[in-house]
Amino acid sequence: MPLWKKEGKVATLLMEASISPVVHDAGQKLAESTGSLADALNQNLNRLLVWPFRATKGFARDVEGQKTEIFGTLIYTVSQSQPTPEPSNFNADNVACVIDVDECLNVEKLSAAYERIACAKRLKKTLSPKVPCVPSTTVTLGIIFGRDAAVPIETLAKELDRLNRQHSDREWTNMVVVLSKGMINYAVQFPGENVMGDFLPPAEGASERYSPPIYVIIVVRPTGRFTFNKMCSFLLAHLMIFSPGANLPNWGQVLEGTPKEGITVTSYQFNLLGKLMPVPRQFYNDRYIPPRPFLIEDQQGNLLSTLQFLPWQDGGVVLLNGKLPLDGLLIFLGKNALERGGIVKRADGQISYVLPITQADFMQMLQRIQRQSNMVVKLDPSRFVVQKLADEGSSSPFIARLYLGNLSLRDVVFPDHTKRDIFDKPYHLIMETMLNTRSTSQEIVQLVADHFSKLAKGEVGQLRGHTIYIEKPIDKELRKEVETFLNSAVRALKQGMQEVTKALGTDIGFLFRKQSPFEDWVKILEKDDPHLAAYLRETRQWSARLINSRNAIEHEGWILPKVRYTEVSGIIRTDEPEISGQKVSDFVKFIMDRLICFVEEVTAHCLKVRMPAGIAVTEIPLFQRESDMPQRFQLTLSNGGMPIWNIAYHQSSFEET
């Protein structure tokens, strides 16, 4: 077992075994400490750090006389291992990291700490000499460190994004830590790939020479009791390039056992000036369809590679899949376009840096390839069908919640695209059925309303003496639509949802059995999932009515009664036929509403149960939902996040929930 060992006044760590458990234990003691949090943090960091790094309270100043406020923790380099008076006054060139320490973070404290860190990052520094093949940086890392938080960590993340939009990315806070709960930092993602590792701030001037084709994403991480490990690992990775050659602990070993999952908050991209800017909303996954790729073939028709253009802030990115070298093809863009040129090699292809090109420039490049080489350029002949689902978009609660909302939860449960079919196939089928069922319910309601309205105007019937003449009865059409509705609704509920829940490891088949076996099975479910058990008990009240009504048609020969017409004081009065003791239009509206709620809530619940450790689901209050995409559910941290949603039956309608 590793031990903390003191040599004079300098504490170092014996690293014969894995360092992760030691850092983990230190983090727990730090979280439980009752004295000064900054002092305790400095003590623990100094046990981890080696020469030339030390951690202490202090402030930084630059050659122009600018200085920061005092930071509870400031990590700096020294020429020799010796104590430093506190509070210390440090040359900015020697400052590797500033940590703003607070007992309990809230939005106001985060904002104030962010500005203090931004001030530290603005200090002038002397650029270090470049050593070939040795990564180095002079950038000051900025961390906000709290023992706890008075608000959900996601709230802090949103405030971080707000502040980022007001500052240059050179001034951004790099990490926000809430001990034993979680943290916020930035991750990297290449186009078409999953989120990768952490994003360290680029060395001074690096992004001025080129703009990497990456998304930089604010991520909230449920690191829990490993939060200190995650912070120390991130810090060590930075220190290793701040002072190359320092014999620091291996940051990867410090990270062992730390949860890797995270919740994406928002994304940024580098523009042509090398500045990080928010990704435009129209390029988010839920609303962007990338241009189709082009095929590059030889004269015999053999596929060599595919090329694709992606708009990117004020420029564009070229993606290549295949064996051709992308840098050789980019020559056809011309010299001016390649001043910030370069490529990144990925497992499945190559990606250019962000280039000063448009779609038109890309098309000209393809034309030059066709004219000036022996290669053949073709548009990908694959057929894509973009099918309209309904006469509504993402602003519709039905589309936003049942489609986009549940599918976004699905992405976390099934991060591997190749393994999503087990859920996607049954869910796609049930959603097609739901669209048809909802359309039929709307047609039934409209059919009845239109008939009664026209009857009142004398357009489809009239009274002659005491005899009622109906010229355009709706009984036959109404019976047909009702039968279609009942069959479709039962198919969605009974067959569709059973398949969806089964794909997620939950069996709800007993909901459709007789009362006695239903009671037996629901009691068993209560032991493992009391919330779902209580929900299904209430669901039984309306689902039984629906299934019994459908069964009456199939097995008992029941047909919907005709519309009743009566004469009262010279006026034709109408009575809707009833299903299960309820007027037909009211019945289909009620059942449709219950069915939509059931599909959304049971699916979300079963996905929630399968979320990675540390991640749960929260419900966005109705008044806080975005008008252009009013999703109801979003991810949250199990510990330190928003209130966790639990499935519960309600009488309120889908639109009011």
Domain boundaries, the chain: 19-274, 294-379, 416-594
Q: Which amino acid is at 92?
A: A
Residue ranges of the chain whose pLDDT lies below 70: 1-17, 80-87, 284-290, 381-392
* Phi (first) and psi of residue 207, to 5 degrees: -80, -5
Q: Kindly tell me the burial class for residue 39, based on how many C-beta atoms sit within 10 Å of its own C-beta (0-12, 13-18, 19 or more).
A: middle
Task: List 101's β-bridge partners, or say none.
Answer: 145
| CA–CA distance, 649 with 635 (Å, rounded to integer) | 21
The predicted pLDDT at position 275 comes to 94
11 Cβ neighbours under 8 A, 6+ residues apart: 4, 5, 43, 46, 47
Q: What is the pLDDT of residue 417?
A: 86
Q: What share of the chain is helix, strand, coil (3-state, %, to 5)?
A: 40, 25, 35
Residue matched to tokens 């930089």: 216
Rama region for 387: left / alpha / beta (φ>0; ψ in -120 to 50; rest): beta
Q: Using the 8-state DSSP alphabet, how is residue 655 labeled? A: T
Cα–Cα distance measured from residue 348 to residue 82, given in angstroms and rounded to the nearest whole number:
51
Secondary element (H or E) of residue 278: strand 276-278
Question: In a 3-state reduction of DSSP, which class is residue 142?
Answer: strand
Alpha carbon separation from 596 to 19, 139, 398, 411 (Å, rounded):
51, 53, 8, 21
Instruction: State the pLDDT at residue 11.
Output: 39
Peptide bond into 311 cis (omega under 30): no
φ, ψ dihedrals at 326, nearest 5°: -65, -40
CA distance to 21, 126, 243, 254, per residue, from 236 (Å): 16, 22, 10, 9
- The DSSP call for residue 313 is T
Element (H, E) at 566: strand 564-568
Helices (H) and strands (E) in the chain, counts: 17, 26
Q: Spell out the residues 6+ positions from residue 436 whose beta carbon is closer than 8 angstroms to its own.
A: 488
Q: Which residues of 472-502 are buried (b: 16+ CB within 10 A; e: fewer)?
A: eebeeebbebbbbbbebbbbbbbebbbebbe
- Looking at residue 17, its pLDDT comes to 54
- In 71-181, the DSSP E strands lie at 71-77, 88-91, 95-105, 141-149, 175-178
Crossing angle, helix 475-490 and helix 421-456, to 10 degrees? 160
Side-by-side strand order, sheet with 376-379 = 343-346, 349-352, 315-322, 303-312, 294-297, 376-379
Supply the pTM of this predicted model: 0.88
Quick one: pLDDT at residue 12?
A: 44
CA dist., res. 68 & res. 297, Å (int): 59
**Chain-centre distance for alpha carbon 227:** 21
CA distance 512 to 16: 61
Beta bridge partners of 470: 461
pLDDT given for residue 282 in this prediction: 73
Predicted confidence at residue 348, as pLDDT, reads 82
